[in-house]
Structure 1
Amino acid sequence: MDGKIEVASYIPADSFFGSPYIDSDVWRESPLPHRHVHGGFQDTDTRFTFYFPTEDSYDGRLFHPLEGAHAGHEDAFGGPMGDVIGGLVLISRLGGYMVESNSGHIGDDIDPRGGDDPTLYGHRASVETARFSKHVAAQVYGAPPHHAYVWGGSGGGRRSPLCLEYGTGVYDGALPFMGGGEIAEHGVSTLMKGAQVMAFASMFNVQRLLRRQAAGVIDATRPGGSGDPYAGLTTHQREELANLYQLGYPRGDEFMIFSPMGQIWLWSSIADRLATEDAEYFEAFWTKPGYVGHDAPDAVAEDLLDVTTTVSRVVTGGELLSDPAYAGPEFAGLRVMASLMSAGPDLPMAIEVEGLGDGYRLGAGLKLLSGKAKGRQLYCMGHAGELLSADGVAEANLLRFRDVEVGDEIHVDNRRFLAFCYYYRHHLMAEPAFDFLRPDGRPIYPQNRVPTMSPLMGVAYSGQYEGKLLWVHHTHDASLWPPQGLVYEAAVRAVRGPEAAAERFRLRWTENAEHIPPAYLPSAPDRATSTWLIDYLPVIEQSLLDLVAWVEQGVEPAGSRYEFRDGRVVLPASAAERGGIQPVVVATVDGGERADVAAGTAVTLRVDAEVPPGAGTIVAVEWDLDGSGAFADPADVVGTPTAVSLTRTVSYPTPGTRFATARVWSHRDGDRDAVHRRIPNVASVRIVVT
C-alpha cells in the first residue's frame, strides 16, 4: 500500500473534467487504519476522498456512499455522517474501500463552469470520481476492484440510481434508501420537478395551523388512541390535515409533524429560486381571488412576521453543543443539527434577536441590512425563543452568520413562507397523489407552473440501467414519504415489464423507521422516540450484503409485498406474506391494544413475533414498560425459533398513562451475540392507570 500514486496516465472519460490531482496522501489510524487520499479534477469544483483499509480487510470491492441533501462535501462519511450511517468501519466490514465525492460542487453552491447542469451534480461527478478511484486502487492493492456499488439515503438515495443508470461499466449495483423523484426518458438533461416540494408545503402548513392542537392529533393515532386526529379542529384545520394524508404523509408518525427536523432545509435551499421563477404566485397569493392570502387572510394574519431588529448574539455550532444556556429541551433540535454539520463547530449557525413578537418564526426570511454581511439572505431552519438558526444557498450556505456582528440590522419577514404553506394547492403534478385536488381532471384552485428543483438534485429517473438495484424505503419517513418509495419500481416496470424488472429490481420496506435514527430525534414528554421508531442502519447493512450476494453470486434478495391505497402503504400482517427481512411484531395488553385499570391491578402483556422466510431467527426480545426507552426488561429467548409468543404480567402502582413496548431483534445467522445486522422492529400498547 506504499508508494506515490501515479495520476498522469489517467484520462477522464467525461471531457468536462480536467486531469485528476492528489493534494493529500496520508496514513490515518482512525476510525481504523487506512490510506487517506484527497484530491480533485482540474478546472472543476469536483473534489474526492478515497479511504483504503489494509489489505487484510479488503475483499476487492468499491463502495461509494452518496451524501444526503444537496451533497457538496467529500468528507461527510469520514466525519459526523459516518457515525450515523456506518462510514468507513461499515465499508471495511463489507470488504471494500470507500469513495466519496462532493458531487461536483462545494457546499450548496454550483460549479462556476458547470453552471446549472443537473447531470454534473446528479451523476457525472460521482461516476468520474468512482472511475478514477479504480485507477488508484489498482496501485494501492495491485488490481482494481472486481465489483463496485453506489448507495446512499435521502439526497444520496435520490442520486444513487442516477449513478447506476449513467455509470454503466463503473458500478454493478446500487442501494438507494429514502429516495424519490420524477420519471422521464433516459438521457434527459433538464432540471427535474419534485413532488416533495409540494408535499413539504402541506406539512409545513399543518405544523403551523395545528401547533396548539398537536397533542390531540398525536395521541389519537398512538396505540389505544381514539383514531380520530380531526377531533376538535376547525374546518380549515381539518381540510389541511386531510390533504396532508392524501399526499401520503405516514400515519402513525404525527409526532414528527410537530417536531420539525431537516425538512425545513428544503425550503431554505429553494426559497430564492422559487421567488425568482414563480414570483407571480407569491404576489397572487396575497392579491388575487382563489388564494388563501386574499380570500381568507385570517388563516395567516396572526402568524405574520415583518420586523426589522438587530442581532444581539451570534452563536456557533460548538456553542450550541457546549454552552449550558442551550442545554434545555427546547434547544434539542438545534443541537442535533449542530452535531451533524459537516462545516465544523466554529461556523456561526444561529443568532439571537429581540422584539420579534408572536409571529411564526420557522421558514422566515432573514436578510442582513447592515455590517459586513449586508445583503445576505438566509431562512430560519429552527428556533427556540429569540434564538434562530438559519441556512441558505450558495455563499449563504457556506457562510451562514459568519462576519455578522452584534448590533447588525436584520429584517425578519415570513410572508413568502406563509404563501409557500399553500403552494401544493396551486402547483399540481401529474402524479396520482394529486388527483384529489383535481376531481374529473379539473383543478380546484388556480394553477401556476410547477417549478424545477435545484440542479444539485440531478435529473429525473428513467428506470433504465444495467446491474442490480435494491431499493429500501421506510413506512414512517416524514421527509421522504412512503409514496416516493413506489416511483422507481413503476419506472423499472415501464421500461422492462414486470417479469424482467424482477431480475434487476427489488423494493424492500422497513416498518417503523424514520428519516434518521431515533437517537437523533427528539422524544415526546411521555414517551421516548425509540419506543415507536427503530434504528434502520442494521437493515441497510444487511441489504448491502444482500446486494453484493445478488450481484456476485446470483442470490436473489427478498423484496416486500404491499398495497397502496388512500395515499398510504399497507404491509401484510403475516411475515410469510409480507416478506422482506424485518421481523413482524404484534403487542397486546389483556388481549387488546389498550387496558384501563386501577392502580396496582395486574395486566398481561403479550408479544407475537415472526421473521419472514430466509430472514434468520429471533435472537432477542426486550420490553420497555414505562415509555422511557430503556428496554430494561429482556425476555428469555434461545435464538433459534423463527417465531415466538411471549407473555408477562405487570402492574403499575400509581395513576398515569404508560406505553409498554416490545422490541424484537432478528439475525440472518441466528447469532444472539452479534453486534451488527441485528434487525429490529417494535410494537406498543397503552395502559391507562386510574
Structure 2
Amino acid sequence: MGSLVGAVQPNDSLCTTLVADGPTQITPDCVDPIYQSPIYTNHSDETSPLKHRKVSGYFNATGIEFNIYMPYHGWEGRFFQMVFPTQTSVASAGEIGFGAEAGGYTVHVAGTGGYRADAAVAKLSREIAREFYQQPSRKIYGYIYGGSGGFFKTVGAMENTVSVWDGSVPLIQGIPISDPTGCSIASLGGLVLGNQSRELQDAVRPGSNIDPRDILNPVQRAVWDEVTALGVPPAVWEDFDGTGRNRSQVYELLRAAAVSLKSIDPTYADDFWSQPGYLGTEKSELGHLFRSSLVEFNATVLQVNRNAQSTPVDIMLNASPSAAPRRNWYDFTIQSQCSGVKKGGTFTGHMDPGSGKVIIYSDNNSTILNCLEKGVKVRVDNRWYLALHTFHRHEIPTGEGYYAFDYLRNEDGKSRYPQRSVLAARTFAQSASGGGTNTGNITGKMIVMDNLMDNKAFPWEADWYRTRVKKYLGDQFNNQYRLYYSDNADHEMGPVEPAVKYRLIDFTGLFEQHLRDLSAWVEQGIEPPLATKYKIQNGQVEVPESASERGGIQPVAHLKVQNGTRAEVQVGSPVTLQAFIEVPRDVGKIVSLEWDVYGNASFVPMDFGTPSTIVNVNVTHTYKTPGVYIPSVRVASHRYGEMGSSYFLAYNLGRARVVVK
C-alpha cells in the first residue's frame, strides 16, 4: 500500500494563472491543485548503475508516476531532471549515472503535456533529499533539460515557474511553428524529390563535385529551393529515408497532426482538393503530381483479426491500391450502418500494396473499430495524408522574426497562398509546453543546444528563440543565456541508429557537459565557454570552419584525402587519409580517435598519444575493390582530458570521398 503525504492544507496557497486561460505559474510556496497529493509506493536501495536510494510514487487521482534516484556517494547539492511528453517514469541507467557523476540526484516523471507535474516532483524531491542526506537546511539547486517535445516542456517550465529550477538546457529547439510544419516541409521534399533520391544522396555527400540543383528538373528544383529556404539542411538528404520518408517516423508525425487537425481545422483537406491556391487544384506539374498520387476507392472487409481485448488490429480488404511507392497511411471511412456509430466513422491504418491487408493504428476510436466485421463497406483515401505535405504554405506565421517564411511571401509581404483562419501549430506547441507561448521571459539561466543536422526542427529556429530571449532580457541577456550549435547531430536523442552511425554522432556527452557548465555558472558564477558563432544565410545556419573561430564546446575534425576532400585512385593504390582536429579554446582535449576507412560505421580506435587540444594524424589504406567510399574519422574531447570516461564526451566527425576505379 502507498502512503499519502504532503496533502494540501486549508491555508496553503494554490498556484494560479496570471491571466484567464493562461499557463499556471509555479513558485516554491504554492501548491498545484492537480498535483497536491503524492503517494509513495516504494523506497528501496539499488545497486545499478551505482548504489542509490530509489523513491517511487504517483500523484493521487492522476496516475502520474515518478521516481527519484539519490546516490549514496558524491552528492554535491543538486539534481537533474530530464523531461519529455511521452516518457515513462523510469530513468535510464545513463541518466542516473550521469546525474551522480555530475554531483546530483536524478528526478524522472512520467510524461505529460506541460511542466506542472515535473515542477511538483522537483519541489517534492528537495524535501526527500534533505531528509535522505540529513541536511535539512541545505540549498538544493535544480536543472531541467529535454529535447524536441522536451524542449517545449523545458521552455514552458522556465518561462512559467520561479525558483523551481535554477537553470535549464533545452535541446533540439522547437518553436510555435515547428509541429507539424517541419514534417510538412520535409515530406514535400520527400514526395517530389523521391525519384532522384539516390542521385541527391550522392550529391550532398562529402567530396561531391555536383550541385544538387543540377540533377533536378524544374519542378523538383523549385521544391528543393523551397524546403532549403525554409530550413531543411541540404546535407540531411544524404539520409533520404530518414528525412523525407518514414525511417524517422515522418509519416507517423503527420498522421498524429492529422488526428488533431481534423478537430481544430476540419475543412483543411477538403479545401486543399477543391479551393484555388492549393496544390490539389493548381494547374501545374506539381499540382498534377499530387492529383496523380491521390488514392480513393471503395472496398469490402473480408476478414477481421482482433487482439486479446477483442479490438480489431488488422483487416483484409477485397481491394488495395495498385501501387504505393511510399509507406503512407490512409483514412478508412465506414460506409455501412453500425449499432452505436453513425455512418461515416473513420479510422487510420497503412496498407500492404497488392494484398489488401490493413494494419490499424492502436490509437483509433475503439467504438468505431468494433464496427468492423466481414462484409462492412469502407471508403479508402489518402486525401489528408497528401494535403498535409503543403500545410506549411497555408499557416505562415505572422509574428516577429520568422524570417525563413519570407520565402513564401510576395514582395509586398503578403502570402502567396491562402491562409487558414485557425493556427494549429501554435495550438500544438502550447499543448506541449503547458500553455506557454515562447515569450523569451526565462526565470533562470539557460543553455540551448541545437543541432545542425536536424531534419524536423530546423537550426534557424534556435536563433528565433534567442532573439526573443534577448529582446525580453535586454542588458541581462549575456548573464542568463547561451546558444551552442552541434555539428553532425540530428533530432534524435540517445545512441545513434545503426543505419546512420556512419554520418552522425551521439550528442549525449555534449548536453551532459552543457549541464555541468550550467551548474558551475549558477552555483559558482563561472562563465560558460564562448557561444557558437554563426550566421543565417537563406534559411541555413552557417558556422566557421575552424574551432578557434567557431567557439562552442565541440571539437572540429577535418578529413582530407591526398590534400583534398576528394581523391580518385586506382584499385590497389595506397591512399593517405589526413585528419586535422582542433578543440575550441579552454574546453578540453582530444581523448579518443577512431577511423572508418570504408564509411560503413566500422570504426577502429587509433592510438594518437597523450590528450591534446590539436591532433594531426595520418593513416594509409589500400582499397582493393572499385567503388565510392566515404571514409571518416570520429573524435571525442573531454573537458579535463580524461581518457576512458563514459560521460561528458564531445564527439564530432570528419569525412571525405575516395573514388576507386
Given the two structures, how large is their TM-score scaled by the length of structure 2?
0.84
1:49 and 1:494 map into 2 onto residues whose CA distance is 36
- The change in CA–CA distance for 1:655 and 1:277 in structure 2 (over 3 A counts) is same
**Is the contact between residue 244 and residue 250 of structure 2 (CA under 8 Å) also seen in structure 1?**
no
Partner residue of 1:248 out of 214, 231, 234: 231
2:244 counterpart of 1:267: no
Q: How far does residue 303 in structure 1 lie from its aligned partner after superposition?
A: 2.2
Partner residue of 2:544 out of 572, 575, 579: 572
Letter in 2 for 1:600: G
Partner residue of 1:150 out of 138, 144, 155: 144
**Paired residue secondary structure (1:168):** coil
Q: Which residue of 1 aligns with 2:443?
A: 466
Q: Which residue of 2 aligns with 1:664?
A: 635
Unaligned runs of 5+ in 2: 15-29
2:83 counterpart of 1:88: no
2:658 and 2:309 map into 1 onto residues whose CA distance is 46
- The change in CA–CA distance for 1:684 and 1:247 in structure 2 (over 3 A counts) is same
**Is the contact between residue 207 and residue 257 of structure 1 (CA under 8 Å) also seen in structure 2?**
yes
Letter in 2 for 1:133: S
2:243 counterpart of 1:257: yes
Partner residue of 2:122 out of 130, 136, 149: 130
1:206 and 1:475 map into 2 onto residues whose CA distance is 18
Q: Which residue of 2 aligns with 1:292?
A: 279
- The change in CA–CA distance for 1:553 and 1:674 in structure 2 (over 3 A counts) is same
1:681 and 1:469 map into 2 onto residues whose CA distance is 23
Deviation per residue, 1:222-270 (Å, 9 max, x gap): 0122342233433222222211101101121111324531343432332
Letter in 2 for 1:414: N
**Is the contact between residue 578 and residue 619 of structure 2 (CA under 8 Å) also seen in structure 1?**
yes
2:339 and 2:79 map into 1 onto residues whose CA distance is 45
Letter in 2 for 1:167: T
**Paired residue secondary structure (2:220):** helix
**Is the contact between residue 180 and residue 487 of structure 1 (CA under 8 Å) also seen in structure 2?**
no
1:472 and 1:346 map into 2 onto residues whose CA distance is 44
- The change in CA–CA distance for 1:268 and 1:33 in structure 2 (over 3 A counts) is farther
Deviation per residue, 1:338-383 (Å, 9 max, x gap): xxxxxxx999997475634314542433567899998885545898
Counterparts in 2 of 1:172-191, with a 5 A limit? 172-182=166-176
2:302 and 2:74 map into 1 onto residues whose CA distance is 52
1:489 and 1:61 map into 2 onto residues whose CA distance is 26
- The change in CA–CA distance for 1:520 and 1:18 in structure 2 (over 3 A counts) is closer
- The change in CA–CA distance for 1:4 and 1:128 in structure 2 (over 3 A counts) is closer
| Bigger Rg over Cα | 2
Q: Which residue of 2 aligns with 1:597?
A: 569
Deviation per residue, 1:524-574 (Å, 9 max, x gap): xxxxx2221101011111111111111111111122111111111111111
Unaligned runs of 5+ in 1: 105-120, 183-193, 317-344, 524-528
- The change in CA–CA distance for 1:610 and 1:287 in structure 2 (over 3 A counts) is same
**Paired residue secondary structure (1:682):** strand
Q: Which residue of 2 aligns with 1:305?
A: 295
Q: How far does residue 585 in structure 1 lie from its aligned partner after superposition?
A: 0.8
- The change in CA–CA distance for 1:648 and 1:18 in structure 2 (over 3 A counts) is closer
Deviation per residue, 1:602-652 (Å, 9 max, x gap): 2221110100011111122221011221112x3331233211221222221
Q: How far does residue 492 in structure 1 lie from its aligned partner after superposition?
A: 1.3
Letter in 1 for 2:154: S
Q: How far does residue 23 in structure 1 lie from its aligned partner after superposition?
A: 5.0
1:382 and 1:689 map into 2 onto residues whose CA distance is 42
Q: Which residue of 2 aligns with 1:365?
A: 331
**Paired residue secondary structure (1:274):** helix
Q: Which residue of 2 aligns with 1:500?
A: 476
**Is the contact between residue 314 and residue 405 of structure 1 (CA under 8 Å) also seen in structure 2?**
no
Q: Which residue of 2 aligns with 1:648?
A: 619
Given the two structures, how large is their TM-score scaled by the length of structure 1?
0.81
2:221 counterpart of 1:213: no
**Paired residue secondary structure (2:479):** coil
1:164 and 1:347 map into 2 onto residues whose CA distance is 44
**Is the contact between residue 46 and residue 125 of structure 1 (CA under 8 Å) also seen in structure 2?**
no
Partner residue of 1:611 out of 583, 608, 611: 583
**Paired residue secondary structure (1:515):** coil
- The change in CA–CA distance for 1:277 and 1:689 in structure 2 (over 3 A counts) is same
Letter in 2 for 1:63: F
Deviation per residue, 1:154-205 (Å, 9 max, x gap): 11112202212222121101111012214xxxxxxxxxxx244223212112
Alignment RMSD, CA only?
Answer: 3.4
Q: Which residue of 2 aligns with 1:239?
A: 222
**Is the contact between residue 321 and residue 354 of structure 2 (CA under 8 Å) also seen in structure 1?**
no
**Paired residue secondary structure (1:613):** coil
2:316 and 2:374 map into 1 onto residues whose CA distance is 9
Kindly, what percent of the aligned residue pairs are identical? Answer: 28
**Is the contact between residue 323 and residue 353 of structure 2 (CA under 8 Å) also seen in structure 1?**
no
Deviation per residue, 1:20-39 (Å, 9 max, x gap): 13151142635544444443
Counterparts in 2 of 1:395-544, with a 5 A limit? 396=364, 412-430=380-398, 431-440=402-411, 441-449=413-421, 450-451=423-424, 452-454=426-428, 455-458=430-433, 459-497=436-474, 499-516=475-492, 519-521=495-497, 523=499, 529-544=500-515
**Is the contact between residue 305 and residue 361 of structure 1 (CA under 8 Å) also seen in structure 2?**
no
Number of equivalent positions: 613
**Is the contact between residue 323 and residue 354 of structure 2 (CA under 8 Å) also seen in structure 1?**
no
Q: Which residue of 2 aligns with 1:639?
A: 610
Q: How far does residue 512 in structure 1 lie from its aligned partner after superposition?
A: 0.4
**Is the contact between residue 665 and residue 681 of structure 1 (CA under 8 Å) also seen in structure 2?**
yes
Q: Which residue of 2 aligns with 1:202?
A: 185
Letter in 1 for 2:280: G
Letter in 1 for 2:574: A
**Paired residue secondary structure (1:364):** strand
